[in-house]
Amino acid sequence: MNTLSVKKSIELCKKSNIKKLVFISAQGGFKSYLNSKLEAEKLIINSGLDYLIVKPGLMYGKNRLSSYLNVIPIKIFSTLGIKFFKNVYPLPVETIARKIVSNLELNCTFLTLDNLKN
């Protein structure tokens, strides 16, 4: 699911001399989706490129109005310790984007949900 586009992105980065690849992966989700994200991560890690893999929960923002309907119940359920809801903790797209930009120049290779929440 995610591996073909990542392979092509890696090829393009190498061909165009792009030094760093940022990949939005997943903190949780359905098994097949999560497995495809993990396979894509492996391709990136083994690519020889500098990279930043971001593993957010649910991203929401003003351009994704339907995601707002999920935010409140998920935040409530995530406080109850239910693992699935803990892994999809909702964060605004703007928060995640700021964290990505602030970590681009660092030697950081992964941003996890815990990094993004703080």
End-to-end CA distance of the chain: 30
For residues 93 and 104, give the distance between their C-alpha atoms in angstroms, rounded to a whole number.
Answer: 17
- Over residues 51-105, the pLDDT tens digits come to 999 999 888 887 777 777 778 787 777 778 777 776 777 888 999 999 999 998 8
Average pLDDT over every residue of 6-35: 92
pLDDT of residue 16: 97
pLDDT classification of 107: cutoffs 50, 70, 90 = confident
Planar angle of CA 58, 69, 52, nearest 5 degrees: 15
